[in-house]
Amino acid sequence: MIAQPFVSPDDIRAMFCSALSDMYKKEVPLYGDLIELVNDVNSEIKKVKPDLWEIGDRLRVERHGAIRLGTSEELSTISRMFKQMGMYAVGYYDLSTSGVPVHSTAFRPKTTSSLDKNPFRIFTSLLRTELIPDLNLRNKVIEILNERDIFHPNVKELILKSENQGGLNKIDSELLIEYSLETFKWHKSALVDEETYNEMKKTHPLLADVAGFKGPHINHLTPRTLDIDAVQRMMAERGIPPKKVIEGPPVRECPILLRQTSFQALTEPINFAGSSPGETSQGLHRARFGEIESRGAALTPAGHELYQNLMKQAGSFTPTDNNEIWQIRLGKIFQSFPDTWEEIRKQNLAYFKYSLSSFAQSQLSSSSSSFIGKGLEELIKDGIINYTPIVYEDFLPASAAGIFQSNLGEHVKTTTSGLNAKEEMESHLNSKIQDYFELYNEIQQLSLDQVKQQLIGCTI
């Protein structure tokens, strides 16, 4: 028998992303409407601005999703599952500082070629049961979570098989996707009875969402748009109720980081587990929504610091604000964040990819000596080297907390504790969480090294 070749993890991720998106479209038809709206807006923008730096082939398939897990064992298995799809833990987000009792990471591809192929990411939060103040409830939640198994047995077998043999063939890859969807699907039947559900919800709606169900249903998927302000305006016109405000920085000539908005979470009917066999009662649950994002340049630590300081100056969105007022306020404050790529680069606020200009390429064979002795700045000035911003592939903790809050409703904010939470998460992932600044820096440095190779003799 001829051995079948292994499918590349990048291809498995692309298949998984599209299967998950198809499943969610069926489960939440409004998400399908949102995708249509985003595709319409993106096609218009592409017509008017064909040279936009952020347009790539990946745009039509680009998504992120989010799940909320209950135990470290779940996190551990899911990280092994995502690894088969070329997704690794990048970035640590402690949301307990914003009053949400979880900490999170994002599983995503890391290399430029994998990102170009399909940048699918899943924002993955883990409930921190130690932040549940009532001890009885805390123990009850832990017990419920320890009893459930969110993975289909075939998934666990396939992960092991892939780990042992170094990959999966086509048939196994398809099976992995088929059975992994089981983990992310919606369960109309709650795992707990009405009383337990209400007790958890009263303490924090997140508890009910995580421990109240059989699995970590995907709670949103997010396509990427080239004009989030247009999508925000048009959502209401198309009967998609928008969130009040766009999270993140204001609209700019040079987009930075991440801007996000969503439609309000649906109120969905659920069946509680009966307290005696065969008996059920019904209730309503709010968790699932659709989100839109626009991505800009990845900022350096200095850029992030400036961003955070400016956001602090803006204060917080109050109930009397609306998106327009808020965006105008932000726009004014962000005047002190440079808005040309040249200035942003000179002040080292963002990461860039460097390449040889076509002019330089044509000169290479004839007179490469003319580059000798020149530094990066001079070569850029002379039109020898071009640069483009690197897209921000990650998340913003304050925006994430805003998204959580807007979709969970009002609740008591839990307090934070536990200094070593990140290390603890890493111990369950069996690896360090990748620092995203390091990743962007590597991509930037690699591009510089390549240019240097091409221009041997200059002193970049």
**Could you list the residues that contact ligand OOG (CB under 6 A)?**
66, 68, 123, 125, 219, 260, 291, 395, 399-400, 403-404
Considering only residues 302 to 361 of the shown chain, the ones binding Ni ion according to CB under 5 A are: none
Chosen from ligand OOG, Ni ion, none, partner binding at 444 (C-beta under 5 to 8 Å by type): none
For the chain, count helices (H), then strands (E). 18, 11
Chosen from Ni ion, ligand OOG, none, partner binding at 404 (C-beta under 5 to 8 Å by type): ligand OOG
Closest contact distance (angstroms) between CB of 166 and ligand OOG is 32
Residue 306 vs residues 238, 311, 334: alpha-carbon distances, Å: 37, 9, 10
Q: Is 199 in the site for Ni ion (CB under 5 A)?
A: no
Residue with Cβ nearer Ni ion (66 or 89) = 66
Chosen from Ni ion, ligand OOG, none, partner binding at 219 (C-beta under 5 to 8 Å by type): ligand OOG
Q: Applying CB under 5 A, which part among 60-68, 142-150, 230-238, 407-415 lies near Ni ion?
A: 60-68
Closest contact distance (angstroms) between CB of 403 and Ni ion is 6
Residue with Cβ nearer ligand OOG (193 or 291) = 291
Q: Applying CB under 5 A, which part among 39-47, 58-66, 111-119, 135-143 lies near Ni ion?
A: 58-66
Closest contact distance (angstroms) between CB of 418 and Ni ion is 24
Chosen from ligand OOG, Ni ion, none, partner binding at 183 (C-beta under 5 to 8 Å by type): none
Closest contact distance (angstroms) between CB of 46 and ligand OOG is 24
Cα–Cα dist 135/144, whole Å:
14
Residues 6+ apart with CB under 8 A from 263: 30, 34, 235, 240, 241, 242, 243, 289, 290, 291
Residue with Cβ nearer ligand OOG (183 or 447) = 183
Strands 220-223 and 289-295, sheet pairing: parallel
In the shown chain, the binding pattern of residues 64 to 93 toward Ni ion, with x for contact by CB under 5 A and - for none, equals --x---------------------------
Residue with Cβ nearer ligand OOG (63 or 353) = 63
Residue with Cβ nearer ligand OOG (68 or 140) = 68
Chosen from ligand OOG, Ni ion, none, partner binding at 395 (C-beta under 5 to 8 Å by type): ligand OOG
Strands 289-295 and 258-263, sheet pairing: antiparallel
Considering only residues 204 to 223 of the shown chain, the ones binding Ni ion according to CB under 5 A are: 222
Closest CA to 225 of 206, 251, 245, 186: 251
Closest contact distance (angstroms) between CB of 290 and ligand OOG is 11
Q: Is 291 in the site for Ni ion (CB under 5 A)?
A: yes
Residue 159 has, within 13 A of its CA and on its CB side, a CA count of 18
Residue with Cβ nearer ligand OOG (303 or 397) = 397
- Amino acid (1-letter code) at residue 400: A
Residues 6+ apart with CB under 8 A from 438: none
**Where on the chain is the footprint of Ni ion (CB under 5 A)?**
66, 222, 291
